[in-house]
Amino acid sequence: IVTTISSPLYKGVDLLLKTAKLMKDNLGLEFEWLCFGNVEVDVAERITGIKSSDVNVFFNSVASAKVIKHALLNATCYVHTSYIDNSPNSLCEAQMLGVTCLSTNVGGIPSLIENESTGFLFPANDPYQAAYLIEYVFNNKDLNLKIGRQAYEVAIMRHNKEQIVDSLLSIYEKLAKTNCD
């Protein structure tokens, strides 16, 4: 499992730790959860009472694009735990690599993930649903590959440079025409 995350508590490091604890204690799932970014782990551990190393969560600080790409390409899934977000680059990057993404259903994220088609959404602060979905993805390899492939196809279209430029130029042309009329 891979997550990129930062320190603010609204990014959901507490949810990540709670989910990992449920998975380790109740599901018997063999996993390692690799986290990249600047995170004040001690604060989240103190708040939750969960020590990250006890629940197979490993914080790796900031890493290069190459390191994160390697981690994602070798991951079963990418998990986004934020309580507040708009259009997270990390989620888009995982989709561009064909990784199945699971995320909290907040902000603009439902515009990036069609639930059960291009990823999975779960309620913010719901470690039970998050743990269930991670286990579901781990135990359904064909579905995992299918979801990742579908996410990749949508992400490739969404982030197509030529299409983005053409769309912006069209908008500017319409605005310019409207202002001249």
Q: Per residue of the chain (181 residues), what is the pLDDT tens digit? A: 999 999 888 999 999 999 999 999 999 889 999 999 999 899 999 999 999 999 999 999 999 999 999 999 999 999 999 999 999 999 999 999 999 999 999 999 999 999 999 999 999 999 999 999 999 999 999 999 999 999 999 999 998 888 878 888 888 888 888 777 6
| CB burial string 52-71: b at 16+ within 10 A, e below | beebbbebeeeeeeeebeeb
Q: How many CB atoms lie within 10 A of CB 168?
A: 10
Hey, is 5 helix, strand or coil?
coil
Measured torsion, CA atoms of residues 136, 141, 143, 144, in degrees rounded to the nearest 10: 80
What predicted TM-score, i.e. pTM, was given to this entire model? Answer: 0.91
